[in-house]
């Protein structure tokens, strides 16, 4: 057979992907802040093709229909602050008896739990040794189940800062450890470039001290303003945004002035900080659930008293400041610091956000449209609309009446594939 004949034998165009129709009696649209009754979501491949009223839609006789009954359907949720590669088991054992290989071996389990909890997208802000890049690669290739991911690699930290290993003998070293410690304008620029070289979608900077480390303060600034500015400028040159971990009022203001896209934790933000965030359009990502878990469990996990004492200083004040920021109208995105508590519990923060001043719809918007905007993925995720990824979830009950129904997600679709279904009896995606 001639080459021409061989090509002629190939089908001219591949068959169009089969359409899938999802029937939703209640479709929550975070963009408009409304719930639409009796809708049909038409899905083609991994994207939404159309959303239409059931009464106005003609389904083909052989249509593949997924009927989600009376469940509430909403866009897949987004957690903007995760550490999906790890989970604490024991402070000293995690440090001294495990290696990055342990982390790499188990991280896919955490990614899967996160996805099955209805979080179809995450922004992972801080992982050592580029384990997050490897995990993201495996998810993108469809080898393991997990959410879409933006990953930062190691968080930039000053020497002796929140991202360094402190409180040890100066002779303790971890051979080959790839971390984010860098000091001075030139070195932080280089560290940003290095992270991007190996796969960073976003840059994480530790602007202040933190809770889960052994340095002294909770919130003191740990970079100079010129270092923070260099990090933001360098990241921007490569088309990346910066997420700044910041607890203390001063460090929060410095990070906002340096031009970060989001301030994480924001625990001790003051009036001036709130005003600056409003002026600069900076997102605030308050992780206001994990305090409960840390105070209940971290003594048992062998964490030094010093660290638990620091958490006591943060907990309630952070929640009060969350309420102030909501009242002031700051831009807020949902982020939980998962990995500080068990993965898959990401939905537990909704309750606290509503308790501390948001309406359920605002909390859902923080975890969908706002989060997508922060990630720069506002045309891809966070809505069920034509052209968006077919990432959707369903829950029994009404999340606008009781937001805790989002802690138990019964249906999860990501990119048109069903990963969990307790409602419509669909086969779920298998990994073999
Ligand atoms: Zn964190």
Alpha-helical (H) ranges within 211-359 are 225-237, 249-258, 271-280, 290-297, 305-328, 349-355
* Cα 264 to ligand 1 centroid, rounded to whole Å: 8
430: Cβ–Cβ under 8 A, 6 or more apart, which residues? none
**Tokens 């903007």 belong to which residue?**
80
Average pLDDT along the chain, 432 residues, taken 10 residues at a time: 49 72 98 98 97 94 94 98 95 90 96 98 97 98 97 97 91 91 98 98 95 79 98 98 97 98 97 98 97 89 86 89 98 97 98 98 98 98 98 98 98 98 93 80
Task: Output the six-digit token pair for 373.
Answer: 């905007």
* Cα 206 to ligand 1 centroid, rounded to whole Å: 10
Phi, psi of 411 (to 5 degrees): -145, 130
pTM for this predicted structure: 0.95
* Cα 125 to ligand 1 centroid, rounded to whole Å: 6
**How far apart are alpha carbons 119 and 148 in whole angstroms?**
9
Contact 256, 277 (CB under 8 A): yes
392: Cβ–Cβ under 8 A, 6 or more apart, which residues? 22, 41, 73, 74, 75, 76, 384, 411, 413
Q: What is the pLDDT of residue 315?
A: 85
* Cα 82 to ligand 1 centroid, rounded to whole Å: 6
* Cα 187 to ligand 1 centroid, rounded to whole Å: 23
Q: What is the pLDDT of residue 1?
A: 43
* Cα 81 to ligand 1 centroid, rounded to whole Å: 6
* Cα 398 to ligand 1 centroid, rounded to whole Å: 30
* Cα 244 to ligand 1 centroid, rounded to whole Å: 10
Classify residue 197 as exposed, middle or buried by CB count within 10 Å of its CB (0-12, 13-18, 19+). Answer: exposed
* Cα 430 to ligand 1 centroid, rounded to whole Å: 31
* Cα 126 to ligand 1 centroid, rounded to whole Å: 7
87: Cβ–Cβ under 8 A, 6 or more apart, which residues? 110, 339, 342, 343
* Cα 412 to ligand 1 centroid, rounded to whole Å: 25
Q: Domains (ranges, CATH) in the chain? A: 8-76+382-421 (2.30.40.10), 77-375 (3.20.20.140)
* Cα 360 to ligand 1 centroid, rounded to whole Å: 24
Q: How many CB atoms lie within 10 A of CB 400?
A: 17
* Cα 83 to ligand 1 centroid, rounded to whole Å: 6
HSE (CB half, 13 Å, CA atoms) of 351?
Answer: 12
* Cα 410 to ligand 1 centroid, rounded to whole Å: 27
* Cα 370 to ligand 1 centroid, rounded to whole Å: 19
* Cα 339 to ligand 1 centroid, rounded to whole Å: 8
* Cα 355 to ligand 1 centroid, rounded to whole Å: 22
* Cα 127 to ligand 1 centroid, rounded to whole Å: 9
Phi, psi of 303 (to 5 degrees): -75, 140
- Selection from 273, 285, 301 nearest residue 212 by Cα: 301
* Cα 316 to ligand 1 centroid, rounded to whole Å: 18
**How far apart are alpha carbons 277 and 153 in whole angstroms?**
26
């Amino acid at each position: 057979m001639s080459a021409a004949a061989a090509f002629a034998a190939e089908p001219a165009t591949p068959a169009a992907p089969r359409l899938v129709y999802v029937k939703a009696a209640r479709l929550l649209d975070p963009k408009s802040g409304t719930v639409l009754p009796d809708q049909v979501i038409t899905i083609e491949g991994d994207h939404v093709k159309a959303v239409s009223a059931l009464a106005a839609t003609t389904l083909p006789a052989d249509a593949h229909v997924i009927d989600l009954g009376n469940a509430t359907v909403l866009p897949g949720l987004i957690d903007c602050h995760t550490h999906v590669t790890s989970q604490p088991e024991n402070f000293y054992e995690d440090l001294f008896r495990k290696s990055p290989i342990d982390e790499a071996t188990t991280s896919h389990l955490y990614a899967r739990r996160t996805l099955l909890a209805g979080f179809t997208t995450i922004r992972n802000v801080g992982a050592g040794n580029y384990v997050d890049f490897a995990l993201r690669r495996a998810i993108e290739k469809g080898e393991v189940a997990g959410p879409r991911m933006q990953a930062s690699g190691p968080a930039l930290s000053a020497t002796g800062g929140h991202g360094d290993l402190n409180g040890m003998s100066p002779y303790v070293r971890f051979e080959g450890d790839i971390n984010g410690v860098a000091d001075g304008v030139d070195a932080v620029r280089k560290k940003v470039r290095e992270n991007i070289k190996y796969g960073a979608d976003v840059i994480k900077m530790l602007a202040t001290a933190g809770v889960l480390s052994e340095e002294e303060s909770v919130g003191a600034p740990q970079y100079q303003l010129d270092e923070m500015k260099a990090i933001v400028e360098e990241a921007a040159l490569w088309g990346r945004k910066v997420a700044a971990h910041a607890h203390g009022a001063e460090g929060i203001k410095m990070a906002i002035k340096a031009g970060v896209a989001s301030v994480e934790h924001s625990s001790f933000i003051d009036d001036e900080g709130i005003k600056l965030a409003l002026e600069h359009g900076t997102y605030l990502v308050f992780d206001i659930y994990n305090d409960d878990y840390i105070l209940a469990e971290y003594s048992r996990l062998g964490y030094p008293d010093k660290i638990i004492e620091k958490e006591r200083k943060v907990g309630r004040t952070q929640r009060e400041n969350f309420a102030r920021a909501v009242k002031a109208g700051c831009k807020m995105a949902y982020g939980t610091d998962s990995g500080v508590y068990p993965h898959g519990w990401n939905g537990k923060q909704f309750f606290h956000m509503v308790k501390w001043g948001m309406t359920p719809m605002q909390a859902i918007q923080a975890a969908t449209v706002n989060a997508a905007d922060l990630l720069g993925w506002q045309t891809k995720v966070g809505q069920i609309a034509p052209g968006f990824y077919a990432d959707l979830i369903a829950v029994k009950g009404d999340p606008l009446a009781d937001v805790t129904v989002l802690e138990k997600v019964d249906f999860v679709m990501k990119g048109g594939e069903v990963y969990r279904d307790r409602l419509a009896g669909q086969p779920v995606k298998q990994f073999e």
